[in-house]
Amino acid sequence: MQKRPIGTSELQVAPLVFGGNVFGWTADERTSFSILDAFVDHGLNFIDTADVYSAWIDGHKGGESESIIGKWFKESGKRDKIVLATKVGMLSTRAGLSAANIAAAVDDSLRRLKTDYIDVYFSHLDDDKTPFEETLGAYQKLVKAGKVRVIGASNYNGERLEAALKVSSDTGLPAYQILQPEYNLYDREGYETDLEPVAQAHKVAVVTYFSLASGFLSGKYRSKDDTSNAARGSRVEKYLNDRGLRIVDALVDVAKRNDTTPATVALAWVIARPSVTAPIASATSVAQLESLAAATRLNLSAEDIAALDEASAPAK
C-alpha cells in the first residue's frame, strides 16, 4: 500500500488511521485486540488515541484506551509495526499545554502504553493561556529525550495554527507537522475554509476525525428511533435533517455503483481530497474494520465525487 509522509518527518503512514476511542468503551479488550491484529494484517499502521479516552464513561477516569493498546503491544510484540499517536491537554487532571503538564502527562501515557516513545504527540486542544514558546519548548525537550518523534495540533483554528508555526520558524522550536481537525462529508465548512489553506501552505499533514460522523455516514441512522439504543445515538441526532439524509442517499447510490458500503465510500471521499493525509475512523468489530480498510482500495470516479459534493453542498 502506498504510504504518505507526515509533514517533513520521516514517518510514513497508510491512508487510514484507526481511531482508538472505542478501546475500553464500545470495544472490550478481546474485541480491541482482534481489531488491532486485523488492522495490522491489512497493511495499515497508524493508530490514534488520547490520554482522556474514555473519561466520558461513568466509572472511567481516562487512560483506558492507552492501557488496552499498551497491553496489546506487550502481548502481540507489534509495537514496531505501528505509528502511534496520543494526545495531551484534555484530561481534567492533566489539562492544558503548560510545560509542567506536558512533562507529567507524557510519562503517564508512556507508562500506560508500555512503550518508551510516542511517534506523534498531539496538543489535543488549543490553550491560549500558555505561550506557544512554553508549549513548544516542552515538546523540544521530549523530542531530545527520544520520548516523542513528531508533534501535532488538534482543534486549533487556522489563525492560531499559523501563529504557532510562525513561532517555530522564528525560534527553531519543533513545528506542528500534522493537524487533526473534524472533517467529513457532513461537516465540511470549518476545515475547507479556515484550516485547509494553512495546512497546504505549510505542508502540514492532515488526519481528520469523526470521518464517519460518529457512524451516521454508514447509513444506519435514518430516524430518531434508530438512535435510541445506540452508544453514539445522542451524537448523531444532529445529522438527522434533510441535508444529512440527502448525503446518506448519495452514499448509498455511489456504494451500489461500486459494489461496496456507504461507510467505505464516505472514507474514500475523504482520502481523495488532496490536502488530506488520511481519515481517522473507528470500528467496534472486525467486520466494521473491513469496511474501513476497503476505503484504501476504492478509487472514486470524478462522477462519484461530484454526486457526493452536490449532495453535501451547504444548505441554502
Ligand X SMILES: NC(=O)c1ccc[n+]([C@@H]2O[C@H](COP(=O)([O-])OP(=O)(O)OC[C@H]3O[C@@H](n4cnc5c(N)ncnc54)[C@H](OP(=O)(O)O)[C@@H]3O)[C@@H](O)[C@H]2O)c1
Residues within the interface to ligand X (CB under 6 A): 19-22, 26, 48, 154-155, 180, 209-215, 218, 220, 230-232, 261, 263, 280-284, 288, 291
Gap between the Cα atoms of 13 and 152, Å rounded: 15
| Cell representation of residue 74 | 506487550
Least gap, CB of 133 to ligand X (angstroms): 23
| Cell representation of residue 209 | 476525525
Gap between the Cα atoms of 176 and 151, Å rounded: 5
Gap between the Cα atoms of 23 and 39, Å rounded: 14
Least gap, CB of 145 to ligand X (angstroms): 25
Q: Which is nearer to ligand X, 21 or 67 (CB)?
A: 21
53 included as an active-site residue:
yes
Gap between the Cα atoms of 181 and 204, Å rounded: 12
Least gap, CB of 91 to ligand X (angstroms): 12
Least gap, CB of 134 to ligand X (angstroms): 21
Rounded alpha-carbon distances, angstroms, from residue 305 to 84, 134, 199, 254: 31, 43, 22, 9
Q: Which is nearer to ligand X, 218 or 312 (CB)?
A: 218
What residue is closest to ligand X based on CB? 19
How many residues can be counted in the chain? 316
Least gap, CB of 124 to ligand X (angstroms): 6
**Residue tagged active-site, from 53, 139, 191, 239:** 53
- DSSP states of 100-123: HHHHHHHHHHHHHHT-S-EEEEEE
Least gap, CB of 15 to ligand X (angstroms): 15
Q: Which is nearer to ligand X, 104 or 230 (CB)?
A: 230
Q: Which is nearer to ligand X, 103 or 230 (CB)?
A: 230
CA torsion sign for 191, 230, 225, 251 is positive
Gap between the Cα atoms of 184 and 270, Å rounded: 7
Report the candidate in 14, 8, 3 with the shortest Cα–Cα distance to residue 281. Answer: 14
Q: Which is nearer to ligand X, 101 or 282 (CB)?
A: 282
Phi, psi of 92 (to 5 degrees): -60, -30
State the distance between the two ends of the chain, measured CA to CA, in whole angstroms.
40
Q: Which is nearer to ligand X, 165 or 255 (CB)?
A: 255
Give me Rg for the CA atoms of the chain.
19
| Catalytically annotated residues | 53
